[in-house]
Structure 1
Amino acid sequence: MATEVSAQGSAHWHEEYSLYSSLSEEEQVQLAIEQSLADKTRGPTEATAPTRTNQQPAHFYPWTRSAVPPEPPPARAPMGLFQGVMQKYNSSLFKSSQLAAMDPVLKAIKEGNEEALKVMIKDGKNLAEPNKEGWLPLHEAAYYGQLGCLKVLQQAYPGAIDQRTLQEETALYLATCREHLDCLLSLLQAGAEPDISNKSRETPLYKGADINTQASDSASALYEACKNEHEDVAEFLLSQGADANRANKDGLLPLHIASKKGNYRCTVSCFSVWQRDLVKSKINTKALLGARFDVNAPLAPERARLYEDRRSSALYFAVVNNNVRATELLLGAGADPNRDVISPLLVAIRHGCLRTMRLLLDHGADIDAYVATHPTAFPATIMFAMKCLSLLKFLMDLGCDGEACFSCRYGNGPHPPAPPRAGRFHDAPAEDKAPGAVQFCEFLSAPEVSRWAGPIIDVLLDYVGNVQLCSRLKEHIDSFEDWAVIKEKAEPPRPLAHLCRLRVRKAIGKYRIKLLDTLPLPGRLIRYLKYENTQ
């Protein structure tokens, strides 16, 4: 008996603690003050009773409330915070102690007693009447997963199949949330509507069928499976059509996180799906080309004007998006690489994609392309490749014209001062700007390029004959002591072997320079013509 009372007191203490923990610090201080004052006014008789020292009055505990008749309530004094809390606490205990008898309908459903339900229906009891929360017995059967009871109620009340609770939840929604698949199938077969949403705008389809649902950080179920290395789950999601190309908010795909974790199975599974989607994209492009779409059909002028570069061809879009496969397909179908205002080759140079550059050049892209809207006295391909000397040498090896870089209209004479850089608020007026095309030496004077002037000139001199350096280029070379050798290299006459090489390459032509290997010449000479020698 003592153990029983002790356990009951412990339960009471935990409930009282959880009640006080919801109060703020100020309320708890006030409560303590009021409780101490109440203890003082109670008097010493209660506190010093010989056999009831730590025992509350019989009616205080809920398990003795029914055994001892309640005392008549005294005159009610103004309640403080402590008395209010205790009264609320006592009332909640009293309510919990008197458990109401379970409803016979709910009891039958919980026990799966189909026969009891049939008897109730036969006796005329209305089982389509909602309770105070709006729940029907049909909702209860779906919630508890009692398929037999659910079918009995469906047959008896077919019109209640989509009726909603006060939270606007249908029986189908409840079966989905509780993962009772057999009840879910039965409701769907009976014609339950899967698109009815609850108050939170959640439908049964949303709760149980969207395999690509993303969380607040845009992570999909597949991403989480790969992150946590749940290999079987990842493979199952992929088999059910999960999108392997859905990135999270950081732009990471399931393939990225699987590779980062070093999980071989997840990586292979995600990669195979990604590769399949890539092939599908390629097939779609092939299908369009196979349907005889004009591969050179331009973009409508009003649409092209929306782009600053005035792009108009499908090939340009493929190169801008760095889509090498689409570029290859379009060029193979006859796309013209020289139709746009800005050559796709210039875009490929900006991206530094050698494979795209080779594709474009192999299909006739002009290696000496210019930009009509920004005229220069030298090829724009050289201008775009200046910041990467290896890329510049690659273009020069394929026949780009370097002679134009040394054809300055000012020669050895004085050059006009370099125009000030256009600022946000101080732009030079149109009449003060130098007319005509921009010279190579003028472009080389830009602050972001001038520090590379010596190496750039050095590379270009390997692909030109006897040229004259203008006074501006000499200034650039003289600005750095180690560049003096470049100035000596430019002095005529150039080596005879070098001049012969230039003559042979010019005779072959820039569009056939890749055919040098087919010439009936010794291998050493072929390598010299292709600039493959190291001297």
Structure 2
Amino acid sequence: MTCFSYSEYFSLFHSCHRHTRLAAQQTGRAQPSSSGAAWGVRRRHDSSTSQSVEIDPVVAAIKNGDEKAVCNMMKSGKNLSVPNKDGWIPLHEAAYYGQVGCLSLLQKAYPGTIDQRTLNEETALYLATSRGNLDCLLTLLQAGAEPDISNKARETPLYKACERKNAEAARLLVQYNADTNHRCNRGWTALHEAVSRNDLEIIDILVKGGAKIESANAYGITSLFVAAESGQLEALRYLARCGADINTQASDNASALYEACKNGHVPIVEFLLSQGADANKANKDGLLPLHIAAKKGICEIVSMLIPVTSRTRVKRSGISPLHLAAERNNDDILEELIDAGYEVNTALSDERSCLYEDRRTTPLYFAVFNNNIYATELLLQAGANPNVDLINPLLISIRHGCLKTMKLLLDHGANIDAYISSYPTTFPATIMFSMKYLSVLKYLLDLGCDAGSCFECQYGNGPHPALNCRRERLNDPQLTREPTVVQFCEMVSTPEISRWAGPIIDVLLDYVGNVQLCSRLKEHIDSYEDWAVIKEKAETPRPLSHLCRIKVRSLVGRNRIKLLDTLPLPDRLIRYLQHDYSQ
């Protein structure tokens, strides 16, 4: 048994309480250099610069398509194959600006530079493709440019054409034998990129050009998985017609169906199920598509998954979709699952329960913890047992101070004298949790909570061990061989509670007969002048009318005490038994 300090006992009722997707699915994008260059400042797509810089005459001539000026420079002996500090040569500039005439002149004059790369390892062919300059692209391909040279991110011109959704560029590159299965630095292929953009024309070009539909990236993700994950229905249908595996799974075992459910793609889920997708494939955490749909609160998807999800597989997972629906306050999902027959008293497995500090196990606990009155009532009406969890949900409702939830739980059999086995006390934990809320404490005592145990001290009028010694014993496992049970007098003497001790004792005395205040309680009461009347109230014998009330209440019994209003008794007697002093 673990031992706890007094502050831990007290703090208990104040604080009872798909891993990240496998990196970004999109590949990295190489950014153009921002440094100045001898051939001119490197441009963004809007051609803007942060400051005015004089453009090199060669760049100016190429940008303007002035073939004559370019020829004259070469005739004058100027070497137009020398790179600037970004690694750009005039051939790159011509491809970038789409000046096919200048490009042809430069390529013929310097044929060895056709596949030369910038510092970002971009070829003229890559730049032409990136800018959508088809004439330059075709000219370079016809001149023998290598179509599969990639940039620093290992993205080829074909990949860039797919990213830019440029079907004509993709068609040209495939015609010139571009590798349709080349992978970027994360294993992403051109087909992955085209599918992510739902471009059917390019997808068709790639597949007919030899792209492998089952090719997976570095995270085990295929093109069909991408389509399902990103909600691209047309691409998904195309790939399914081509025979792509409908049950494909990523490296974390998440299926395409799971990802579609996770992202709320209702049409995708509907299509996958119509094609025979298996709803009982769990990810590496043991969660099924129904679990994630319940967690995300997508009613349409949950409705589709319930009939095709195995209850045995759900049980094997160690967590019910009810838990996840309750945890996320998805009341519609909770109601649908209950209507479908999911067991409301299903407990979390030990492995899952231990992930929570309070070791919760039931869907009801989640609902009460969230202070969700509707979900609490829904579960209780469906037969939820309020006395299963290590920490009774009633204690959590007391912490929230929610009388409506307390009443619901008590009406459905919650133990009003609940204890916590891992935090042993000689008095009910319900009293411990309500010490700061006297109205709540009185409400519980009115319904029959055991107040007498608060005055049953093992030391009585004798000397008590010093609190500091008790704390040291609690906190040092070497000093104790058996669980240390905390008594009421010790609890109310803690710094966190001591200033409320008098009013707490005063309320408790209204629900007990002749009791003896232990020496510590007397000492504590004596330390506050205003509490002298409380000590007098506890003196024996107590008034006969009070003792009679205690006796009658005990004879009525706890099960009927909360139904006093319905008993055939005079109103005055009912008010008397309920401690109602208003009249």
Q: TM-score range by the shorter chain?
A: 0.5 to 0.7
Q: Displacement of 1:393 after TM fit?
A: 1.7
Equivalence for 2:563? 515
2:480 is aligned with 1:430: yes
> 2:71: which partner in 1?
66
How big is the shift at 1:515?
1.0
SS of the residue 1:99 aligns to: helix
Alpha-carbon deviations, 1:329-388, whole Å to 9, x = none?
554455554456654434544454544432332222332234456554333321232233
**Which residue of the partner structure matches residue 51 of structure 1?**
none
> Matches of 1:524 and 1:425 in 2, distance apart?
51
* Separation in structure 1 between the aligned mates of residue 384 and residue 219 of structure 2, nearest angstrom: 52
State the shift of 1:307 in Å. 8.6
Is the CA contact 2:417–2:450 (under 8 Å) kept in the aligned structure 1?
yes
Query: Conserved in 2, the CA contact under 8 Å of 1:318 and 1:326?
Result: yes
8 Å CA contact retained: 2:61, 2:70 = yes
Give the count of matched residue pairs: 407
2:181–2:211 contact (8 Å) kept in structure 1: no
Shift of 1:454: 0.9
Q: Is the 1:463–1:502 Cα contact (8 Å) retained in structure 2? A: yes
Partner of 2:415: 366
Q: Is the Cα–Cα contact under 8 Å of residues 147 and 173 in structure 2 kept in the other structure? A: no
Alignment of 1:487-506 (within 5 A): 487-492=535-540, 494-506=542-554
Structure 1 contact 385–391 (Cα < 8 Å) conserved: yes
Tell me the alpha carbon deviations over residues 28-62 of structure 1, each in whole angstroms, 9 at most, x when there is no partner.
xxxxxxxxxxxxxxxxxxxxxxxxxxxx999x988
Q: Deviations over 1:476-503 (max 9, x none)?
A: 1111222223223334454554444333
SS of 2:418's partner is coil
Structure 2 Cα separation of the partners of residues 192 and 147 of structure 1:
15
The alpha-carbon deviation at position 522 of structure 1 amounts to 4.4
Secondary structure of the residue aligned to 2:466 is coil
Q: Which letter does structure 1 place at the counterpart of 2:407?
A: R
Alignment counterpart, residue 471 of structure 2, candidates 421, 426, 431:
421
C-alpha deviation, 1:145, in angstroms: 6.4
> Once the two structures are superposed, what CA deviation does each residue of 1:164-218 show, in whole Å capped at 9, x if it has no partner?
48888766456457774544467679996555467999876677663489xxxxx
**Counterpart AA for 1:450:** S
Whole-angstrom CA distance in 1 between matches of 2:61 and 2:351:
84
TM-superposed deviation, 1:280? 2.1
C-alpha deviations, 1:130-175, integer Å up to 9, x for none? 6364899998997886779989999x99x98945488887664564
Whole-Å Cα distance in 2 between the matches of residues 88 and 338 of structure 1?
74
1:131 pairs with one of 147, 158, 164: 147
Amino acid of the residue matched to residue 287 of structure 1?
A
Could you tell me how far apart the structure 2 residues matched to 1:57 and 1:327 are?
A: 77
Query: In the TM superposition, what is the alpha-carbon distance from 1:396 to its structure 2 partner?
Result: 0.9
What is the match of residue 379 of structure 1?
Answer: 428
Cα gap change, 1:445/1:186 in structure 2, threshold over 3 Å: closer, same or farther? same
Q: Which shows bigger deviation, 449-458 or 323-332?
A: 323-332
1:404 to 444, 453, 464: 453
Where does 1:212-223 land on structure 2 (aligned, <5 Å)? Answer: none
Matched residue, 1:279:
332
Task: Give how far 1:278 is off.
Answer: 3.1
SS state of the match for residue 443, structure 1? helix
1:388 aligns with 2:437: yes
1:318 and 1:66 map into 2 onto residues whose CA distance is 79
Deviations 1:377-414 (A, max 9, x none): 33332123223323212211211121222233444444
User: Is 1:531 equivalent to 2:536 in the alignment?
Assistant: no
* Sequence identity percentage: 47
Amino acid in the other structure paired with 1:469: L
Q: 1:190 to 1:455 in 2, by over 3 A?
A: farther
- CA 1:128 to 1:512, structure 2 compared with 1: closer, same or farther past 3 Å? farther
Which range moved further: 450-459 or 387-396? 387-396
1:385–1:392 Cα contact (<8 Å) kept: yes
Do the aligned residues in 1 keep the contact of 2:459 with 2:518 (CA within 8 Å)? yes
Q: Which letter does structure 2 place at the counterpart of 1:131?
A: P
Q: Which residue of 1 aligns with 2:52?
A: none
| Residue equivalent to 1:473 | 521
Match for residue 99 of structure 1 among 103, 110, 114 = 103
Q: Deviation per CA, 1:444-499, whole angstroms, max 9, x where unpaired?
A: 22333223211211221222234332322111111122222322333445455444
Note the alpha carbon deviations across 1:196-254, whole angstroms, 9 max, x for none: 467999876677663489xxxxxxxxxxxxxxxxxxxxxx98876899x99xxxxx99x
Among 209, 229, 232, the residue aligned to 1:210: 229
Bigger relative contact order, structure 1 or 2 (CA pairs below 8 A, ≥6 apart): 2
CA contact (8 A) 1:337 1:360 kept: yes
Query: Counterpart of 2:499?
Result: 451
Q: Which amino acid aligns with 1:386?
A: M
What secondary structure does 1:459 align onto? Answer: helix
- Kindly tell me: are residues 479 and 211 of structure 1, through their superposed partners in 2, closer, same or farther at Cα, counting changes over 3 Å? farther
Partner Cα separation in structure 1 for residue 328 and residue 573 of structure 2: 44
Partner AA of 1:100 in structure 2: S
Give the direction of change, closer, same or farther, for the CA distance of 1:489–1:17 in structure 2 (3 Å limit). farther
- Give the 3-state SS of the residue equivalent to 1:511 in structure 2: helix
The aligned residue for residue 9 of structure 1 is: none
> Whole-Å Cα distance in 2 between the matches of residues 151 and 85 of structure 1?
32
Whether the 8 Å contact between 1:169 and 1:198 is mirrored in structure 2 is yes
How far apart, in 2, do the equivalents of 1:304 and 1:174 lie? 41
Unaligned runs of 5+ in 1: 1-13, 22-55, 74-83, 118-124, 214-235, 247-251, 254-273
Within 5 Å, give how 1:206-355 maps onto structure 2: 210-211=229-230, 277-289=330-342, 328=377, 331-338=380-387, 343-350=392-399, 352-355=401-404
Query: Contact 1:194–1:203 at 8 Å: present in 2 too?
Result: yes
Cα RMSD after superposing both structures = 6.1
Distance in 1 (alpha carbons) for counterparts of 2:567 and 2:332: 39
